[in-house]
Amino acid sequence: MDLSAISPAAVVADRMAATRDEVAVAVLRKTLDMTASQGQALARMIDQQAGLGRSLDTYA
């Protein structure tokens, strides 16, 4: 391994890239969590409706 290729700038750039990736994953996790909770809330709202959308009147 050639140690002369390692510079402070290269180390900082590598750490910045790793931090960027960690932040991107955290944002994606939070987005998925929010989407899941919104889906659960929507499902609860639909369940609370008295038969809305559950039957179709074909004789109207």
Which has more confidence, 56 or 5? 5
Residues with Cβ within 8 Å of 53's Cβ and at least 6 positions away in sequence, in order, are 46
DSSP-assigned states of every residue in 11-47 = HHHHHHHHHHHHHHHHHHHHHHHHHHHHHHHHHHHHH
Amino acid identity of residue 9, one-letter, is A
pTM to 2 decimal places: 0.60
pLDDT at 16: 95
Is it the case that residue 1 has pLDDT exceeding 60? no
Confidence of residue 53 (pLDDT cuts 50, 70, 90): low
pLDDT at 57: 62
pLDDT in tens, 2-40: 777 788 888 899 999 999 999 999 999 999 999 999 999
- Terminal CA-to-CA distance of the chain, rounded, Å? 80
Q: What angle do CA 36, 55, 52 make, to 5 degrees?
A: 50
